[in-house]
Amino acid sequence: MRQPVAAVTLGVVLMAGSVAPASVLAQEASPSASPPGQGTRATTDAELGAMVVTARGLRRRQEEVARSVSRLDRALAEEIAAIDFEDLIPYAANLDGKIDPFSGTLRIRGFGTPSTNAGSEPAVGASIDDVFYGRNRFLAANFFDLEETEVLRGPQGTLFGKNTTAGLLRVTTRAPEFHNSAALEVLLGQDEERVIRPTANVALGDQAAIRVAGAFTRRAGRLRNTFLRRNEQDLSQDSMRVRFRFEPTALPWTLDLSAFHSRQAMNNGQFQFTRATDAMRAFAESFDPDFNTDPENFRTSLDFATDAEVVMTGLNARNTIDFAPLLGGGRLFVTSITGAAESRLKQFSLDADFTPAAFLRRVQPATNPYRQFSQELRVSGRFDRLFGQHDALEYTGGIFYLRSTLSVVDRFQIDDLGAAAGYLLAANVDDPPALLPGGAVGGLAAVTAETLGAALALLDPLAAPLLGADQRIDTRLDQAVETIAAYGQSEYRLLPRWFAILGLRVAYESKDGDFLSQGEGRLIGLVGEQEDHQSTVQLSEHGFSPRVGLRWEPMPKVHTFFTWARGTKSGGFNAIPLTPDNLAFEEEKADSFELGSKVALLGGSLRLQSTAFWTDFSNLQVSTFRDNRFFILNAAEARSRGLELDLHWMPPLPGTSLFASLGYSDAQFEAYPNAPAPADAGSATQDLSGRRLPRAPRITAAIKPRFVTPLEGGSLNLILGGDVQYRGKRFLDVDLDPRSLQPATTVVNLRATLSDFVHGWSLTIAGQNLTDEVTLSQILDQPLAPGNFIGVRSDRGRFLTASLQLDF
């Protein structure tokens, strides 16, 4: 391995341009400094803890990193009693989205790839303990015993792992420590919610340690299925992680091994009607008198008992060698990161007509596995002097390999031909019989469903040869992806207070996709607009992603920067190949400009960072619901411009602190002349050039005050806090139909904590969403029924939680 390492090191140095700041963290200068990306908790300033990030490969103060990055640490997660990543999202400016074990979409500055297509990769990537994961669902399996989450905005790829166009969530779990300890967190909430998170840390002498952590969740869903009389969106989660760390005192070497396993399951009836025509309402009420279209009522009506279950596992190995003792000056770390992971979607079914009629269902006849293997070799470090007295170089670079495979098997089937006929009649609202109002059409559809179903049952021997005994469509995608890349970024001190930034990523990626679509029965082929085919598509792409910039330090703890970066996101395949059309989509590219400043003032008690940005996308990948299925197409051009602002302040009033974030993102299509039109618009396409991107709020904001006061006569502290979270209005469907508009929301949370810092326990009582805001994450046209809409509600209404934390 010596020759590849030398080649990478030489390549990074030749690419150079990065300067090491004059002042570095004490932990980096110390002989016991931790390897990059690992290490103990950050050192602190006298007044306000120093924000330390790993966004440049080495752990650095946040103000010294020339990019827009937010750090959400363990203290924040513990303070707000966070259950999942969605609880952290509001605290990062211009970050939005939803994550669950079966789907999930993260968006930064308005850009993100919805998870409706299993074959696509995310525009906002996920990295856990420096291992890149090709699906964001792995985040849901690892939200426990975390050290920090870093939100990196804009194109990424010159520092580590896979390239992304919109940003990256970089998650670090807690490393084993060389002393014995244990902890237990118990959270109780409404809807029979119970979360138990145990942790045990065992020192194996003074050179090795092991850490075991788990998360066990049970939650009865609030969404009530009035037809089946059961709750949907209930969650059962059992997750565990084991980390082993070995640091021999005789060698400058660190070995970190980790493994995780997670099983998560729930009733999968997530959609509920948000709007129904009179005809569709009357049709549905004939099956379920409690049919409801008000999303505020947490009611749905589905005849099919859907479910979902996923099992995720992963193994990681990280070897780091510190070559500093051999250099006689400067720092040099060589790190090997090996990762293997698997996600097995064992069950995923859907009531595809979203009504209580036994019309159309989607089932998964076989397990859908996603598997990946990655290997990364990274070199990072710094030289304090290269050519003169004041110059210095800090660099990170490496090579990255990723191979992944995916199989997606789906089946769409009609259960009852009478119900199918009635549904299609009720959906025909554009041209109802002249003498019948919509409700009468719905009633007629219900009668049609009942009588036709009975007639077909009697005439089955005659109807089966005509229509087909089975009405189903089977589709399959088998996908293999291989990526290899070389990357590097450096900072070089040009002048005592000026630093040049230069980075580059070169990558090659190949994808093979085998598609199958096979139908049985005449009606299902017409309904699904399906065509039998067996196809093979191959894609290959070369990526070239540079990054350049300048950083200026006019005075200590005051930093400004300007950067330009390009990112690419590879093309891919659509996972429901009903027809041989639109099987693949092309890569997208992003060019991002950032102008920012980061300052620490008032003796370190006030820290402020602000970034203005302008991002242009070409060939933007857009998720579209058309022809009764989701697939991804390439829009022409899009752009986003705006700013991020983060403030951390410790006022002179003892015990008080304030955090605030503000994001503004004006994201719009620059050119999208053939965008999909609303289903009942009378035209298949429309021109959305100059219109806003879907699911992109212009303003995101959060403010979180906190007050701590000691109680007399003991070791108890009383902590009072809360936050206000604002999200601007946004369209929830790509066609920007006004009926898919989510209004702006203002969520208020309040918390009271009693903490004993001597005996190691704390109790928190919290009121969540006290303003009872209704938030939907998705609104879609009901399949085959123009003018009807379904949605997914992502909030849980107003609720209370109690959290107990014990340290042993």
pLDDT in tens, 421-480: 888 888 875 554 444 455 555 555 555 555 655 555 555 555 566 666 688 999 999 999
CA 444 – CA 457 distance, rounded (Å) = 20
Using a pLDDT cut of 70, give the percent of the chain over it. 85
- Condensed to tens digits (0 to 9), the pLDDT of residues 569-584 reads 999 999 999 999 889 9
**What are the CA-CA distances from residue 329 to residues 66, 323, 325, 383, 386 (Å)?**
25, 10, 8, 7, 11
At residue 13, the pLDDT reads: 30
**Most confident segment among 41-45, 53-57, 352-356:** 352-356
The stretch 201-214 carries a mean pLDDT of 96
Question: How does residue 9 score in pLDDT terms, banded at 50, 70 and 90?
Answer: very low
Q: Is the pLDDT of residue 340 over 50?
A: yes
Q: Is the pLDDT of residue 8 over 50?
A: no
pLDDT for 715 equals: 84
Q: What is the DSSP track for 234-293?
A: -EEEEEEEEEEEE--TTSSEEEEEEEEEEEEEEE---EEEEE--HHHHHHHHTT-TT---
Least confident of 80-89, 238-247, 442-451, 792-801: 442-451
Q: 93 in helix, strand or coil?
A: coil
Q: What is the pLDDT of residue 714?
A: 74
Q: Give me the mean pLDDT over the 397-425 stretch.
A: 91
Q: What pTM does this model have?
A: 0.88
pLDDT of residue 11: 33
Choose the weakest-confidence range: 436-440, 591-595, 670-674: 436-440
Across the beta sheet with 167-173, the strand order is: 69-73, 146-153, 167-173, 124-128, 131-133
Q: How far apart are CA 594 and CA 712, in angstroms?
A: 50
The pLDDT assigned to 462 comes to 58
In this prediction, residues 283-294 reach a mean pLDDT of 92
Residue 648, sorted as left (phi over 0), alpha (psi -120 to 50) or beta, turns out to be beta
Output the pLDDT for position 230.
95
pLDDT score at 750: 97
Return d(Cα 582, Cα 714) in angstroms, integer. Answer: 68
Please tell me the distance from the alpha carbon of residue 310 to that of residue 99, in angstroms, as a whole number: 14
Task: Check residue 325 and give its pLDDT.
Answer: 67
State the pLDDT at residue 28: 30
Lowest mean pLDDT among 16-25, 378-387, 529-538, 689-698: 16-25
pLDDT at 245: 97
pLDDT-derived band at 346, boundaries 50, 70, 90: very high
Residue 678 φ/ψ region, left for φ over 0, alpha for ψ in the -120 to 50 degree band, beta for the rest:
beta
Q: How confident is the model at residue 16 (pLDDT cuts 50, 70, 90)?
A: very low
Phi, psi of 269 (to 5 degrees): -85, 80
**pLDDT attached to residue 461:** 58
Cα distance between residue 240 and residue 238, in whole Å:
7
Residue 760 has pLDDT above 70, yes or no: yes
Mean pLDDT of 130-158: 92
Spatial contact of 789 and 275, defined as CB atoms under 8 Å apart:
yes
Average pLDDT, the chain: 86
Note the pLDDT of residue 21: 29
Q: Within 13 A of 461's CA, how many CA atoms are on the CB side?
A: 0
Q: Which one, of 198, 157, 163, lies nearest residue 55 by Cα? A: 157
> Taking residues 353-379, what's their average pLDDT?
94
Question: For residues 532 and 31, what is the distance between their CA atoms, to the nearest angstrom?
Answer: 66
Half-sphere exposure of 393 (CA within 13 A, CB side): 22
**599-624: pLDDT as tens digits:** 988 888 999 999 999 999 999 998 87
Is residue 384 predicted with pLDDT exceeding 80? no
* pLDDT score, position 392: 82
When mean pLDDT is compared across 318-332, 397-411, 681-695, the lowest value belongs to 318-332
User: pLDDT grade, residue 99 (50/70/90)?
Assistant: confident
The two three-digit tokens of residue 560, written as one number: 């400004």
Confidence of residue 294 (pLDDT cuts 50, 70, 90): very high
Give the span between the Cα atoms of 547 and 551, in whole angstroms.
13
Around Cβ 3, how many Cβ atoms within 10 Å? 7
Please check whether residue 244 is in contact with residue 266, taking contact to mean a CB–CB distance below 8 angstroms: no
- What percent of the chain lies above the pLDDT cut of 90? 63
